[in-house]
Amino acid sequence: MADVTPTPNSSHSGPSFAGAAPGGSHATSAPYLERRAWIGEYFDRTAASAWKALTSDAPVSRVRATVRAGRDTMRQTLLATLPADLNGARVLDAGCGTGVLAMDLARRGAQVLAIDLSPTLVDHAREQAEAEGLSIDFRSGDMLDPALGAFDYLIAMDSLIHYELREILGALSILAPRVGNRMAITVAPRTPVLASLHAVGKLFPRRDRAPQIMPVAESKFRQGVAETAALAGWRVADTTRVERGFYRSQAFVLQNEAGLKTR
> Span 174-198, mean pLDDT?
83
For the whole model, what pTM was predicted?
A: 0.84
For residues 149 and 171, is the Cβ–Cβ distance under 8 A?
no
Residues 23-63: pLDDT tens digits? Answer: 356 766 888 888 888 899 999 988 899 989 999 999 999 99
pLDDT, one tens digit per residue, over 156-185 is 999 999 999 999 999 999 999 999 999 999
φ, ψ of residue 260 to 5 degrees: the values are -70, 125
pLDDT computed for residue 27 by the predictor: 65
pLDDT at position 250 is: 98
Q: Where are the domains of the chain?
A: 31-256
Lowest mean pLDDT of 22-26, 79-83, 90-94, name the range. 22-26
Give me the torsion for CA of 16, 211, 122, 165, rounded to 10°: -100
Neighbours of 250 (CB within 10 A): 24
pLDDT value at position 53? 94
Domain 31-256 class, CATH top level: alpha beta
DSSP-assigned letters across all residues of 124-192: HHHHHHHHTT---EEEES-TT-GGG--EEEEEESSSSTTS-HHHHHHHHHHHGGGEEEEEEEEEEE--H
pLDDT at 242 exceeding the cut of 90? yes
Amino acid at 12: H
Non-local (6+) Cβ contacts of 29 within 8 A are 166, 167, 170
